[in-house]
Structure 1
Amino acid sequence: MTLAGQLYAILDLGYVPAEAAAEVTRALLAGGAGLLQLRAKGHPPEEIEALACQLLPLCRAAGVPFIVNDYPDIAARVGADGVHIGQDDGALAPVREVMGPGKIIGRSTHSPMQARAALEEGFDYIGFGPLFPTPTKLGRPGIGLSDIAAVQSEVGREIPVFCIGGIKRDNLPEVLSAGARNVVIVSDLLTAPDVQIATRQVSQAIAAASLAGDR
């Protein structure tokens, strides 16, 4: 999976009620999200699967990969493009077996060492963070910006590195200046008065920074 200058949007049911999931997903896609993940911590698997079935066609129509968080079995059953697993969710091989060939599997990483390990194990992309403290990772301190450039240079040459955690429109320039090429933003988009406009602002800023970095 070769991606640069992409916004990875997460439809998080901690911020969006299930009944608004499709509407918000449409706004994220229309705003330029390059990937979209369904994250539903604490929700019943059957609800997650039903929502995945609802959101997948929207992503297909937009030509955007659809990723399910945490549940390889659900991702495989609904035909999602991939799954994202946490640092403590086990090895890649069993997940690859469940998902089948050609699917995207991402790993959360919280240090350069974990980022390198995910690359060596064969993950298709990594999330790197949280850069700043965030309500979605309560109790986990932010790792800061100092390692972004090194991880992007080393790991990002092989697989996409998505910086994540507490990133908002007001600190995005700082994150991009530190070397980020791909970014995940959650609450700042999902709670924006106009999700599509906010998403468009972010996706354009990321793309511009990536273009400038390629010159």
Structure 2
Amino acid sequence: MSRPFDLSLYLVTDEDLAGPRGVVETVRAAIDGGVTLVQHRFKQGSTRDFVATASALVDLLRPRGIPLIINDRVDVALAVDADGVHVGQSDMRVAKVRELIGPDRILGLSAAQMHELTPEELGPIDYLGVGPVFATSTKPNAPDPIGFEHLGRVKRTVGLPVVAIGGLKPEHVEPTLAAGADGLAIVSAIIAAEDPAAAARDFSTRIARYRGK
């Protein structure tokens, strides 16, 4: 059984958007605002730097009970004892990832269209990242935006936890959750914010309000 996780407010890191503040300090502020899960996406630089930042994030997040997911790199996830791995359609097959990381770590997969989701792809994973809901500049060569209607269709079909991603802002919390998503994955709206804690709190407050807490 995989480690427990909460997709409600899923933060995806970006070292360029974090700027001089850096990824670790940005994440430190964002979790004070209510982030429930962090994916570390490292787009450039050495493996040594990737491991160093990921290790610092594990030290920051684990005492708070917030899982760290590593984007794509199974070797880095294992090296730092991260809580899981997230892969895309062009990355290693999820069956092989599951074989390498074992049954206890969290495994996520990105998808935009139903034809990408065979039973073989869905079987080993714990959650699905669906999007982009809107056009986004944080991921080159992203598929066309899918919108809320298609997001809901995927959620109803797959029977797995779903986190929506792609251009989402605080005002999109209600329609995203109403479409059936279990949470929102946010990059620039938090990472690039002048005050990441306040930006995250805006999302988390709206999520809690929608759920009636």
TM-score normalized by structure 2? 0.88
Matched, 1:189 2:165: no
Report the equivalent of 2:45: 43
Question: Matches of 1:54 and 1:210 in 2, distance apart?
Answer: 32
How do 1:1-215 residues align onto structure 2 when only pairs under 5 Å count?
A: 6-17=8-19, 20-115=22-117, 117=119, 120-139=122-141, 140-155=143-158, 157=159, 159-211=160-212
Contact kept in structure 2, 1:4 and 1:210, CA below 8 Å = no
Note the C-alpha offset of 1:114. 2.7
| Cα 1:121/1:5, change in 2 over 3 Å | closer
Unmatched segments (≥5 aa) in structure 1? none
Question: Matches of 1:209 and 1:119 in 2, distance apart?
Answer: 31
Q: What is the SS of the residue equivalent to 1:146?
A: helix
> Which letter does structure 2 place at the counterpart of 1:187?
S
Question: Matches of 2:192 and 2:39 in 1, distance apart?
Answer: 16
**What do the CA deviations read for 1:170-199 (whole angstroms, capped 9, x no partner)?**
333333343333110110111222110110
Contact kept in structure 2, 1:164 and 1:184, CA below 8 Å = yes
Deviates more, 1:54-63 or 1:163-172: 163-172
**What do the CA deviations read for 1:63-120 (whole angstroms, capped 9, x no partner)?**
1011111100110111000011111113112212221230011111111333464763
Question: Matches of 1:64 and 1:4 in 2, distance apart?
Answer: 9
Contact kept in structure 1, 2:51 and 2:76, CA below 8 Å = yes
Deviates more, 1:52-61 or 1:10-19: 10-19
Note the C-alpha offset of 1:145. 1.5
Note the C-alpha offset of 1:18. 7.3
> Which letter does structure 2 place at the counterpart of 1:166?
G
Question: Matches of 2:63 and 2:174 in 1, distance apart?
Answer: 31
**What do the CA deviations read for 1:29-88 (whole angstroms, capped 9, x no partner)?**
111111111111122211110101111011101110111111001101110000111111
> Which letter does structure 1 place at the counterpart of 2:173?
L
* Count of aligned residue pairs for this structure pair: 210
Deviates more, 1:185-194 or 1:164-173: 164-173
> Which letter does structure 2 place at the counterpart of 1:45?
T
| Cα 1:63/1:118, change in 2 over 3 Å | farther
> Which letter does structure 1 place at the counterpart of 2:139?
K
Unmatched segments (≥5 aa) in structure 2? none
Question: Matches of 1:187 and 1:114 in 2, distance apart?
Answer: 26
Deviates more, 1:3-12 or 1:195-204: 3-12
TM-score normalized by structure 1? 0.87
Quote the RMSD (CA, aligned, Å). Answer: 2.2
Note the C-alpha offset of 1:133. 0.7
Note the C-alpha offset of 1:209. 2.5
Question: Matches of 1:81 and 1:130 in 2, distance apart?
Answer: 24
